[in-house]
Structure 1
Amino acid sequence: MTTTAPRVDGRVIGLAHHAARAVLETVLARHGLTFHQVVTLRLVAVAGAPVERAALVAEVVGALKTDASEARGVVDGLIAGGLVEAVDAEVRITGAGQELYETSAAETGEIADRIYAGIPAEDLAVAGRVLTLVTERADAELAALAQ
């Protein structure tokens, strides 16, 4: 455990991201899921209704900073795996997809509880505000670079 708190920067954020993602990917691998699949499956699972396929692809692109062809491939893979189904221009979660999402979310939620245990609520709130602002600014920079 670090005793001296470092100043937040890209390295500190990156180390935290990669450590947490490694934990998540280890859990997901036991369920036969990849990180991109679970991000996409979650978007469909929490929607509560069928999701327009093009809108889902756009959300995945925005969330994962990937290209549309890769996002479409992830959606196609979830369809092929029977976790979501295509209905006209929409996709909806299947029973198997919902069950897998809930199981993996419960398992990763328990781990997250252990990771965040004992961190004061006000520290988590400050970190949340800072990381949200960093994300917004990085998204703006990425958009400017794309022009």
Structure 2
Amino acid sequence: MSTTPTLNGQIIGMAHYATRAVLEQLLAESGTTFHQGVALNATADKGGTAEQAGLVERMTGTLKIDRATAEATLTELTTAGLLEEAPGGGALLSLTDAGRERLAGISSGTKEIAARLYAGLPEEELAAAGRVLTTLTARANAVLAASDAG
């Protein structure tokens, strides 16, 4: 009889909440919320300057939060001096020097945590898990899209 659990929503949820709690501890050290960390990363992924509408879309799509929450998060980051309106108009937001510094600290801490969490796990198992979770995410997003359309 196998003691290896079969992948299911409960297993995925437990892994999600455990790893998110570890990340939340790291973020709290810098006074950053989870949503703020996602917004800073999303801005960095666009080279440090991103369209506000694109950031809102990414946050609502990946975090499953409403538009008002995403917009409030961007306002918090702007008020904190971590993002600023890019020259030429308010449609673009850019990381400030303080925002880059904050993100660098978070990224460094995240890399250290990931190294500890993934240590000793075979690459082929990580690749298989990545494929399965990517497929599950796509299917769940399709279900959500269908229910929103209906």
**TM-score, normalising length: structure 1:** 0.95
Aligned length: 145
Distance 1:5 1:34 in 2: 35
Of 113-122 and 82-91, the range deviating more from structure 2: 82-91
Shift >3 Å, 4+ stretches: none
Segments of 5+ residues of structure 2 without an aligned counterpart are none
Distance in 1 between the 2:55 and 2:45 partners?
Answer: 12
* Matching residue within 132, 141, 144 for 1:142: 144
What residue number does 1:52 align with?
Answer: 51
Tell me which amino acid in the other structure corresponds to 2:142: A
In 2, distance between residues paired with 1:40 and 1:49? 11
2:127 to 104, 125, 128: 125
Partner of residue 104 from structure 2, selected from 102, 105, 115: 102
CA shift, 1:113, in A, is 0.5
CA distance in 2, matches of 1:47, 1:35: 19
Higher mean C-alpha deviation, range 103-112 or range 126-135: 103-112
Provide the residue aligned with 1:62 in structure 2. Answer: 61
The Cα of 1:49 is off from its aligned counterpart by 4.4
Identity score, percent: 46
Where does structure 1 lack aligned partners over 5 or more consecutive residues? none
Q: Which letter maps to 1:60?
A: M
Structure 1 distance, partners of 2:3, 2:26, is 30
